[in-house]
Structure 1
Amino acid sequence: VNDNEFFCFFGPPLSGKSTILRLVLGLETPDTGEILIGGRPVTTVSPAERNVAMVFQNLALFPHMSARDNV
């Protein structure tokens, strides 16, 4: 995915779409391998420092953030 590019994951239920996004965002840690953003490994980089985002199909909030921070 190129910088500033919009993209979507499509697939049947339980195919791993949300898991992939959570890994890229840093909300989950991979068991093996590494995640590269801009060619830089980010597996140990905090979610806030990754400069990536996602939009949920249904309303969802990050439980560790306040309502204001979620907006």
Structure 2
Amino acid sequence: MQISIDNALKIWEPENEDHESTTSNTNQRERELEAWKWHIVCQGKMTSGAHDMGIPKWAVPNVKAIWDAKRNRLGK
């Protein structure tokens, strides 16, 4: 589960700052909205997948916490 979150974060939160500096504020906001939608869908998949595998709810990764930690490491 963690690997799928990390792979998606590479798409939504690239480490290369050059890409973000060339986008306008409107494009950045649209991108953040799409990333937020991804967060909701991904958390739902994690929760339902954990139920199917018999993993307790307390052991399901918190996608938002992982995402925020990645953003903090990138200085965003």
TM-score normalised over the length of structure 1: 0.28
Larger CA Rg, structure 1 vs 2:
2
Q: Higher helix proportion, which one?
A: 2
Which structure has more RCO (C-alpha within 8 Å, separation ≥ 6)?
2
TM-score normalised over the length of structure 2: 0.27
Q: Higher strand proportion, which one?
A: 1
